[in-house]
A and B are shown apart, each in its own frame.
Chain A
Amino acid sequence: MTSFSRISISTALIATLCAPAVFGQELNVATNNNEDDEIENVDTVARPWQQHRSVALLLGTAGIGAQGNITLSKSWGIRAGFQIMPAFTISQDDKIGRTDVEHKYKINLANIHVLADYYLPFAQKIGLRVTGGLAGFVSAKANVVSVPIGEYYYGDIPINDERMGEVKTKVNRSGVAAYLGAGFLNLVNTKHFGLSADIGSYYLLPAADVEMTASGYLSGNERNQEQLKENLKGYRWLPVIQLGFHYKF
């Protein structure tokens, strides 16, 4: 898992643990000392259906992005936005048969999405919601470069040099995805600013488009393309954990 992903989750957890909130209770985030006034202020700002409009900066495992939020009623809201995951590379060791292989993945994700939120009748002040919707992944690609690990010899000749070549795999899952998740709208809720948190998953609808090429001494390994396509049939879920930093207006 990349450091970027770890930061995203840590941030979410720290924000959650530090947020003064009570399950099923009203949030108390007012700043004046008058207890009656605080209750009145909280009651005014806490109910999500009074947050008519906001724009949010999204930060999570699906990338960074922006989102517009509108609450339609005390139970329903809609959101639309986009997210881009900056390209990142991760390495993974694998064992294929008796061969140790290193895979380097470079992953690109970008989506535009439209989501509908249903705010549950309890814990409305914190904005507990379940969410469903659709996303169009304009980019859901992984480029993988695979090379064998370890010392290789051809007879007496070591062959761990640039002539070894690589196996390059492109997996493309761009297309429509469904989303299902849950979260909280108002982990933090002030007059103009709010913090939301969501966890869920996209379900990628298109089958994986796989293209595999091999070079050098690894030529011929592109024969595994169809097997990879078959193996990726179950890889549909793209889990999401994210925070939203809202500006309300």
Chain B
Amino acid sequence: MKRIYIALVAVSMGSALFFTQCKKPSQDFDFSVNADVFDNTVAVKLYDAATPGVAPKNVSITIEGKSANGVYEISGKKLFKIVDGIISLGIHPSMAPKEGNPVEFVINVTAPGYLKVRMPVTVLAGQETKMVAISMINTENPPLGVTVVSETVTLTGGATTTPVAMGTPAAPGEVSATVAIAPGTSFKDAAGNTINGASLSATMVHFNTKHAASLNAFPGSGFNADDVKDANGNIVSGMFQTAGFTNIDMDMGGTSVKEFSQPINVGIGIDATQTNPATGAPFAVGDIIPIWSYQVETGKWEYEKEGVITNNGGNLEVAFTTTHLTYYNLAFLQNTCAEGKLNFNTGLDKAETFLVDIFAANETVIPAVAGHVVQVANGAQAAFENVPTGEVTVKVYRNVAENSQTNWKLRAAPVGQFTGTLCGATPTIQLTVPVTTPITFNIEGRCKNNATNPVVRPSIDIWYRLTGSNAEYSMLGHVSQGMFSTTNLNYMSSYDFKVIWDGSNVFLRTKLIDSMNYQRTIDVPPAYEQYFCK
């Protein structure tokens, strides 16, 4: 027995000589985790309305609202810092929108020298990539269609002693707005308390309807509003067809004025060439148009009264009195549905981004929804919130650098057009996209120095413009784990690309598109490793 045992051991040891010293199977592997956490992203672009290529300085934003807890900067951090006028947001997947339960939050924007903005954002199920463009009005340098007047009025005992009359300047052929304050008027804060002060600072901004830059500054989320108190006191939602709006801000020693001891007079001019949607004819004396007020702090619209169009020195105007300060809007409120869907037949092999304008019935100039960016695959659906009921006209454009995302007047011919109903139906739009070979990107960054993540494949928004154009950056699309495809870049054209990463860093690169297929592994420069190689 002992000898057999020894024999077995001897054979075993001899057999061990057969086993080679093998490599570890995972030797020299690169193992990386590249999360693409967000199924829904919102690219936010804040721009100076007068110079869209310039980002306002020192912009601050806060996020609030029903879904605010689920909103992150696209690098996964609760860090809402505007970098070069851009921030990309992501919705935590646990709070992703579902049918009948959209994501809703509000972006509050402030910047020195600019009007405050309160931008409600709605993300519907099916809106994987969304762009929100926030136009900011610099009162010292307003854009075309926006006029500003500012005055400082001396008070006695906190009240006016002489009539105060202010009017925004008007270029020839354009309209303006006026405000008149009677003597003996005192001023109150938001709580209704009378404010004491020696002087009153007043700024009035008028927005006409002739220019996209002016209309882009319409308060709220475009012309849509879902918190509107109508003439009957009911809270409704709808879409405004505006004939002009104005914002009046006053303060005394830093305290905002919200109410007056007696009514003030406001006049808002109306463009006589604009079509009255109620009559189908140009606005005329005697036409009636509702007056609405809007509070930036709350985002709420409220019906004030009916306005009657009169002739004031050869110009059409609606004059009314009010005892409180706010935005005032001359507009008809059209019915909308919460969501309209459209199937896209693009004829393309891969998903692509497009610009979409939607016009309400009887409106051919001012889109109800302007510059909506969609990223859709062939046969896929895109969803639009707050779509006018009844017949609409949808125009789809290529999301190329030549088509402005912020100025709906700068558009080439659409690649598809649909007229019909979106509410309660899901029609199909056929696009005729010029035959172009898509340019595909499959990019990864290699991190040296034994990084935790040796290979980085980011998921980010990418912005672009034609090199040398000095134009505003437009959103090209969303890159998912380093992969992206687009037909919106021209072969052998040069573009400036911009990416914001990690909540605070901007990366710029100018690139000539000289290939149809970019499959690259790039060594991440040492200076950038701290941002990407974590």
A residues adjacent to B (C-beta < 8 A): 13, 16-25, 94, 96-99, 101, 123, 126, 128, 148, 152-157, 159, 163-164, 180-184, 187, 197, 199-201, 217-221, 223-224, 227-228, 231-232, 234-237, 239
Please name all residues of chain B whose beta carbon is closer than 8 Å to the beta carbon of A182 when the two chains form the complex. Answer: 11, 14-15
Query: Given A17-B5, A187-B4, are A99 and B452 also a contact pair (CB < 8 Å)?
Result: yes
Complex Cα distance, B457 from A96, in Å, reads: 18
Point out the residues of chain A lying under 8 angstroms from B349, CB to CB: none
Task: Beyond A221-B32, A223-B30, list 18 extra A-B contacts (CB 8 Å).
Answer: A16-B5, A17-B5, A19-B4, A21-B1, A99-B33, A101-B31, A154-B75, A157-B37, A159-B33, A199-B8, A218-B33, A220-B32, A220-B444, A224-B31, A234-B21, A235-B25, A239-B15, A239-B18
State whether A96 and B26 are in contact (beta carbons under 8 Å apart), knowing that A101-B31, A156-B77, A221-B31 are contacts in the complex: yes
Bound together, the chains give a CA A128 to CA B10 distance in angstroms of 13
The reply to whether A22 and B37 contact each other, CB–CB distance below 8 Å, is: no
A231 touches B31 (CB 8 A): no
18 CB < 8 A contacts A-B? A22-B4, A23-B7, A24-B3, A96-B29, A97-B30, A97-B452, A128-B7, A154-B75, A155-B72, A156-B78, A159-B37, A182-B14, A182-B15, A217-B33, A217-B34, A224-B26, A228-B29, A239-B15
Contacts of B11 in A (CB 8 A): 182-183, 199
Given A101-B26, A231-B25, the answer on whether A237 and B31 have CB atoms closer than 8 Å is no
Q: How far is the CB of A94 from chain B (nearest CB, A)?
A: 6
Q: Which of B316-368 contact A (CB under 8 A)?
A: none
- In angstroms, how far is the closest chain B Cβ from the Cβ of A73? 23
**B472: Cβ under 8 A from any A Cβ:** no
Q: Taking CB as reference atom, which chain B residue is nearest A128?
A: B7
Q: Give the nearest-CB partner of A165 in chain B.
A: B33
CA distance A19 to B8 in the complex (A): 13
Chain A residues within 8 Å of B34, by CB:
217-220
Known: A157-B76, A220-B444. A23 touches B15 (CB 8 A): no
Chain A residues with CB under 8 Å of B507's CB are none
Determine if B444 and A155 form an interchain contact, defined as CB atoms under 8 angstroms apart. no
Size category, B interface: 35 or more
Are A155 and B77 also in contact (CB < 8 A) when A227-B28, A237-B20 are? yes
The answer to whether B29 and A159 touch across the interface, beta carbons within 8 angstroms, is no
Contact B25 A232 (CB under 8 A): yes
In the complex, which residue of chain B has the Cβ closest to the Cβ of A228?
B25
Bound form: Cα–Cα A237–B30 in Å: 27
Given contacts A201-B18, A234-B20, contact A224 B76 (CB under 8 A): no
Partner-A contacts on B (CB < 8 A): 1, 3-8, 11-12, 14-15, 18-37, 72-73, 75-78, 92-93, 444, 450-452, 454-455, 457, 481-482
* Contact call B33/A126, Cβ cutoff below 8 A: no
- Specify which chain A residues have a CB less than 8 angstroms from the CB of B24 in the assembled complex: 94, 231
A98, B451: Cβ atoms closer than 8 Å = yes
Task: Report whether B29 and A227 are in contact in the complex, using a CB–CB cutoff of 8 Å.
Answer: yes
In the complex formed, the residue of B with least CB distance to A218 is: B33
Give the complex CA separation of A25 and B135 in angstroms.
Answer: 101
B29, B92, B444 — which one has the most chain A CB atoms within 10 A of its CB?
Answer: B29
CB-nearest residue of chain A to B16: A239
Docked pose: A148 CA to B32 CA in angstroms:
9
The interface residues of chain B lying within 8 Å CB-to-CB of A220 are 32, 34, 444, 455, 457, 481-482
Which of B18, B30, B457 lies in contact with A224, CB distance below 8 A?
Answer: B30
Asked whether, in the complex, the Cβ of A98 is within 8 Å of the Cβ of B30, the reply is no
